[in-house]
Structure 1
């Protein structure tokens, strides 16, 4: 685990975000399947083992948000997916739950320097705790 302090490019207050890392190896379900990425190029999935890295970052915000998360194993060609959920304290522990606020991820942009920009919306007038779940394949 590493502690990261970042400021939104939109000028939001600084957040202290801790990146939690989980590494898994799973057998490929689509061995040798060919995926057309562009007319002039194609990507092939690795034969044998697919590597997936999972991370999560807790944030606190309302309305529109933008976060830059650093220290990730990504570059501009990485396949990255992000989900968001609300967090609350239950039994003294911080846990995800389905609250009344809608939460959305709009844009996910990986960069060659190992950073990721995530932009979205939290449909609530007061700041809420949320978790960005990040997957890198």
Structure 2
């Protein structure tokens, strides 16, 4: 539970920033794992295309994907190198309704997630944590203006 609150606090702090960009943090002294950037592993499923990504320090990458058929976004946080279980977190939420975030956390060997949210025409915030490294992004990915107008007109 303690990590849950820490991760959600970090994600919500990112939301409080001007709907701008990426927040990436790590402790001053950390044993970073070097290696190639983690490739997207397709775990979100068929029809999901990568629309954005962010490095999680030097230990992995968090991917934001979108399925235009379903209108859903998906987030997965992937380590560069699988290994001993370490704390990982994948987070996704819409800015239109920030009260219901989707997240997955735990001690994982290779990835956290996938987590899904319907977000057609909406702006999303997303991010991930691997160990003590974190990356969160708010407001950089929004649906088209036409899609937002259509969605806003629905009951």
**So what's the TM-score if we normalise by structure 2?**
0.38
**So what's the TM-score if we normalise by structure 1?**
0.42
More strand by share: 1
